[in-house]
Structure 1
């Protein structure tokens, strides 16, 4: 028998993401999950429209991933990575070298997306220090961008509309560029790179790297921009001798319709960050990949080594699960599944644009976004969604869904109907 959930203890003692402890948002007790569905304590089921924040691309409780974890845990769940190696880390790294954009063949395996970003920024700083250019110590970042909640990552998130303005006085001051002006479905404009080129021209002497989310800005607004921006950003970074960091923690492994969003532009960054769905949503794992040039530069510098080493770096259980997840993805017709999801999402969500409360509807790959004119009441809207049998977690003006790749038309229709119902009733 499932143990009853102690909601009162949870409310009194446990913090949830971006939630007050004194005036907490309601929480819903999940006791099991399978496929596209979350089972609540009362036995009811919700279609999961969030893939647990981009991560569970194969759905929940997948037998292949479960079996991979069971097999690995009987060998070893964890062992330190200092002075030790193991096949799960090696096999994962082989796959990442093969699948990611060309030239990214040096891999640092960490334990979360924010850490992957921190690692990427330290790589850039340490590289320039080793080149005798320690003055290149700042980062260029796009307005409306989001890269995580740890301190270096916060410093390259949007400084005005982002979630971290409270810590502005404690963060390194970085250099921000207006976000790409041309959307993915618009005609490219010749002047679209003026802001970035002027910023690079004025700050390249102090800039270590440009960090961006390729094609899709996630938490900063679910904004889809033109791939040509990436093509030209890559060229400008080369021209002004600034590294390019691609944060694909949210977009990696097919979510946008390409295996990696950089493929929309056919570019290779100097450093690539991966996370979230790396293990298919089974547990936390991340990776930061870089080039021979960057790795050699770091290791030929003053320290002689890269100065980072998390305790759970290269965790064997997580690495084995990631190998299974990647193999499962590649063995499936994931391109067809994501393309089908995009068609369904577009068909089901686009009619909502006629509602006067809706500012925009946009879809890309397995991402569907409904943007409102005014911020939504999260507690109110989630209550309605749960009553309608779906799990969607909006923020601000964004009601977005990104179902697991295994979702069918019935699940997509139910998610869309719940959104439509809320805005018709509210």
Structure 2
């Protein structure tokens, strides 16, 4: 009998039986027949410590013996209080208040509602729409779908159902672009703000790395310019660091590359090292303090059942401790060097007729093919070589666990290159 599990992003007519995972250790997971696969995507970019990390497993077990869950409505507990303080400590200065939720998509929904209510409380109720970027992806819930790329994104089928927001062109200047090149991107952003700022509550942005929209890598100067434009036009700046947070771009947060502080920042994925679903939406005092007042409208009306779950908070605390104590930023730098040497500096790959571009940032690399058909069959090809790759569209990418060794990283990159050979 086929499994009743309905898998995500699957075409039901053509999908094959999914391999069953029974365990894992380090950067590999193990299938029921004993086959071990090196996970090049660390389970949608969240298992940054790999599988069965002893400290994270022990933290969950220890917390389970004490308190598995209690609602955060009218109550609190030590893991939530400690995690909030730690997140305030490590995020850019000025982010001083933490609202927990249970997934990255919900964390972004929180950010959008927070921005709209902020302007309402500041007597600007007309500022109730979002400004997003083309090539953006912010999640699969309704509010998030409405701020994903409406043309090339995966949610165009739902366009008639979704609210309408504004979009600016995706920045095109790469990470190391000269200021002049970035100015063209900022001029396009300015144009949209000049036309629509009176109804825009917030600019939403995946800083430096637009992940599921095609792994587009952009300049820190764009973040600086966007911060200045948001201040000029009284628009809140929201950084969606669900994918980029906790080291993925080479610094703890993508915002750190530009030394800017957004008004709101959303974290998930690596927050718990991938061991439990959890998210955090952080806000500055400016945003938070607007909610201090005596009217019913001053209460922020959002409250996911599992927000601040003690198990998730406890494992997130352990994840951050491991990250800092074991100097993960240096581990990421070593992985980055391998990615540069193996992919970015390979002339045969960059000159390949089926390759449109090769990009590397932090512990992320992508080979962009000319056409999605150029990647048909690559997952089975990689699996035969002991590597789990899951491309999307025309993008063959790796976002590995940070504990991946140099040799294992080369095994991944050589598999990616071998496909094009």
TM-score bracket, shorter-length normalisation: over 0.9
Say how many residue pairs are matched. Answer: 415
Q: 2:327 aligns with which of 333, 348, 364?
A: 333
1:413 is the counterpart of 2:410: yes
1:399 is the counterpart of 2:392: no
Q: 2:19 aligns with which of 4, 25, 28?
A: 28
Please name the residue that 1:106 is paired with: 97
Question: Normalising by structure 2, what TM-score?
Answer: 0.96
Q: Distance in 2 between matches of 1:317 and 1:63?
A: 15
C-alpha change, 1:39 and 1:376, in structure 2 (3 Å) is farther
Q: Give matches, 1:75-90, under 5 Å.
A: 75-90=66-81
1:363 is the counterpart of 2:356: no
Q: Give matches, 1:296-375, under 5 Å.
A: 296-300=289-293, 302-350=296-344, 351=346, 352-375=349-372
Please name the residue that 2:33 is paired with: 42
Please name the residue that 1:200 is paired with: 193
Cα pair 2:27 2:50 within 8 Å, conserved: yes
Q: 1:181 aligns with which of 172, 175, 184?
A: 172
- Residue deviations 1:356-391 (CA, integer Å, cap 9, x gap): 211111111100111100104776221111111001
> Tell me, what secondary structure is at the counterpart of 2:176?
coil
Q: How far off is 1:355 after superposition? A: 2.3
> Tell me, what secondary structure is at the counterpart of 1:133?
coil
Q: Distance in 2 between matches of 1:377 and 1:43?
A: 30
RMSD over aligned Cα atoms: 1.3
> Tell me, what secondary structure is at the counterpart of 2:184?
coil
What residue ranges of structure 1 are gaps of 5+ in the alignment? 1-7
Cα pair 1:38 1:46 within 8 Å, conserved: yes
> Tell me, what secondary structure is at the counterpart of 1:299?
coil
Question: Normalising by structure 1, what TM-score?
Answer: 0.95
Cα pair 1:367 1:401 within 8 Å, conserved: yes
Please name the residue that 2:43 is paired with: 52
Please name the residue that 1:4 is paired with: none
Q: Distance in 1 between matches of 2:50 and 2:60?
A: 16
Q: Distance in 2 between matches of 1:355 and 1:377?
A: 12
What residue ranges of structure 2 are gaps of 5+ in the alignment? none
1:243 is the counterpart of 2:240: no
Q: Give matches, 1:233-272, under 5 Å.
A: 233-272=226-265
Q: Distance in 1 between matches of 2:373 and 2:268?
A: 28
Q: How far off is 1:25 after superposition? A: 4.1
C-alpha change, 1:378 and 1:24, in structure 2 (3 Å) is farther
Cα pair 1:19 1:25 within 8 Å, conserved: no
C-alpha change, 1:191 and 1:380, in structure 2 (3 Å) is closer
